[in-house]
């Protein structure tokens, strides 16, 4: 019997896709992930480098914003099929932070959760409201019969073990009790924190700031997460962080964070298709048509 096929899902805060397109393309060529969520594009829709990504073998869906924010989804050899752009619950919110699409048979919620600093203040309040909106939306996804992953830069340090020095960050929005409680409430719905599930307390950091050679000294934070719903969690095989990307010259302060999952067997796909045919569409189900250009 041959080896079972694995799919690699990854999230990467590029911290400016125009400035760091070379880093992104080098990583894609070397690691060849199947599904990628990108954050902090810091680029308008028109400036998104779709041609370069297509030349690298990736279809793309993106939601840009000038100077900050911006999220995208990449599919190796396929164009992600969009199902949602932006979180429900706050119509006046125009920040580009959430994009949801079906890629390689998986519903992917790509997100860039607000930083929240300085706290207390309006930015911290917005972060907490955004987390409540995410929780309400996620509650409708966690029990779906098909696989779902929420992945991106959550801007949440879940525990003191996920930061090199908790005391040094005690006033930061990423570590506040309200933020941690909101993250725990999200997990309590039934989501699995994949990196922690695979690595335990030894889960690697995903972010290192630019001060005092923190990346070289591995003085970092774990704030980039991949959360798996109940249908996907049993397929988790491996998880890790490509820290070598962070150690390049003029790199993003984040490193790509990834998991490998077992591909669905034909029998499982057949059962899933039969269930889908026998039941009406549910909120959050993968869209049936592909959109590449968000302004189309």
Task: Based on the residue annotation, tell me whether 153 is a catalytic residue of this protein.
Answer: yes
**Furthest-apart CA atoms within the chain: distance in Å:** 58
Give the burial class of 240: count Cβ atoms within 10 A of its Cβ; 0-12 exposed, 13-18 middle, 19 or more buried.
middle
| Contact between residue 45 and residue 52 where contact means Cβ atoms under 8 Å apart | no
Task: Based on the residue annotation, tell me whether 183 is a catalytic residue of this protein.
Answer: no
Catalytic residue among 34, 58, 98, 153: 153
User: Token digits for 161?
Assistant: 């073990």
241 strand-pairing partners: 257
122's torsion region: left (phi>0), alpha (psi -120 to 50) or beta?
A: alpha
Give Cα 130 to chain centroid, integer Å.
15
User: Token digits for 129?
Assistant: 């409201």
Cα dihedral 193/264/78/284 (nearest 10): -60
20's torsion region: left (phi>0), alpha (psi -120 to 50) or beta?
A: alpha
Catalytic residue among 34, 58, 98, 112: 112
Tell me how far apart the alpha carbons of residues 135 and 261 are, in angstroms, rounded to a whole number: 24
Nearest alpha-carbon partner for 222 in 249, 191, 260, 194: 194
| Contact between residue 85 and residue 65 where contact means Cβ atoms under 8 Å apart | no
Give the burial class of 272: count Cβ atoms within 10 A of its Cβ; 0-12 exposed, 13-18 middle, 19 or more buried.
middle
Catalytic residues: 112, 153
């Amino acid at each position: 019997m041959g080896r079972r096929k694995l799919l690699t899902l990854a999230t990467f805060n590029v911290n400016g896709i125009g400035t760091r397109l070379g880093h992104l393309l080098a990583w894609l060529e070397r690691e060849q992930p199947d599904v990628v969520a990108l954050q902090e594009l810091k680029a308008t829709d028109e400036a998104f480098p779709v041609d370069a990504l297509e030349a690298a073998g990736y279809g793309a869906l993106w939601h840009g914003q000038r100077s900050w924010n911006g999220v995208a989804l990449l599919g190796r050899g396929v164009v992600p099929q969009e199902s949602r752009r932006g979180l429900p619950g706050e119509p006046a919110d125009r920040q580009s932070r959430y994009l949801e699409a079906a890629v390689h048979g998986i519903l992917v919620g790509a997100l860039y959760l607000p930083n929240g600093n300085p706290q207390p203040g309006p930015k911290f309040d917005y972060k907490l409201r955004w987390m409540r909106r995410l929780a309400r939306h996620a509650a409708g996804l966690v029990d779906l019969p098909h696989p779902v992953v929420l992945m991106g830069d959550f801007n949440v340090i879940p525990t003191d073990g996920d930061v090199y020095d908790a005391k040094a960050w005690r006033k930061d929005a990423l570590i506040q009790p309200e933020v941690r409680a909101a993250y725990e409430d999200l997990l309590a719905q039934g989501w699995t924190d994949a990196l922690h599930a695979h690595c335990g307390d030894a889960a690697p950091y995903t972010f290192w700031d630019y001060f005092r050679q923190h990346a070289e000294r591995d003085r970092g934070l774990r704030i980039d997460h991949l959360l798996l719903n109940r249908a996907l969690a049993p397929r988790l095989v491996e998880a890790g962080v490509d820290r070598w990307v962070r150690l390049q010259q003029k790199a993003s302060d984040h490193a790509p964070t990834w998991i490998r999952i077992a591909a669905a067997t034909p029998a499982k796909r057949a059962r899933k298709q039969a269930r889908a045919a026998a039941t009406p569409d549910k909120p959050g189900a993968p869209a049936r048509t592909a959109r590449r250009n968000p302004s189309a």
